[in-house]
């Protein structure tokens, strides 16, 4: 399981040092793709395969299903962690997430997310203010 928030930077060649706590779970490579809220989603291969099966089951006759599958798969790329613990992120994905240098890598259960620092700060500030309301609107998990 992925959890936590880590401040990192992307170098001029598009390389990001993967948080050491995540490397063990991503050591066999993983898939990066465009995520929701203008961040990148990173899935371990096993989790990506499960997600791929779910997305393949969506009806191609539904416009929204086709659009989502196109968006999600067209941005997907397999990446590997090098000996220095870095991953090379394609420019198209960095551009999508507006990551220039400073970024935040967070663990979200079965995936990681990579955010530009400014986008994450804005999202966090906005969500923090409405956290109680959000919690009331989702299923009661007996926190």
Q: What is the pLDDT of residues 33-44, one digit of tens each?
A: 999 999 999 999
Predicted confidence at residue 134, as pLDDT, reads 79
| Residue 130 domain flag | yes
Examine residue 108 and state whether it is found in any structural domain, yes or no.
Answer: yes
Q: Which of 98, 80, 99 is nearest to 88 (CA)?
A: 80
What number of helices (H) and strands (E) belong to the chain? 6, 8
Structural domain count, the chain? 1
Q: Is 118 part of any domain?
A: yes
Given this model, what pLDDT does residue 48 score? Answer: 97
Question: Is residue 143 very low, low, confident or very high in pLDDT (cuts 50, 70, 90)?
Answer: low
- Residue 50, both tokens: 């499960």
142 part of a folded domain: no
Do 2 and 110 contact (CB within 8 A), yes or no?
yes
CATH code, 116 = 3.40.1550.20
What are the Cα distances from residue 123, in Å, to 4, 18, 98, 115, 132? Answer: 16, 22, 14, 10, 15
């Amino acid at each position: 399981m992925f959890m936590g928030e880590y401040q990192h930077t992307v170098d001029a060649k598009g390389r990001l040092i993967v948080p050491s706590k995540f490397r063990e779970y991503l050591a066999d490579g993983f898939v990066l793709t465009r995520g929701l809220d203008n961040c990148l989603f990173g899935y371990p291969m096993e989790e990506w395969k499960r997600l791929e099966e779910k997305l393949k089951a969506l009806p191609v006759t539904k416009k929204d299903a086709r659009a989502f599958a196109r968006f999600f798969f067209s941005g997907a790329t397999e990446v590997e962690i090098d000996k220095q613990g870095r991953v090379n992120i394609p420019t198209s994905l960095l551009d999508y997430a507006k990551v220039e240098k400073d970024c935040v890598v967070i663990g979200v259960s079965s995936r990681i997310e990579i955010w530009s620092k400014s986008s994450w700060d804005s999202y966090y500030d906005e969500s923090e203010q409405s956290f109680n309301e959000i919690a009331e609107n989702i299923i009661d998990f007996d926190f």
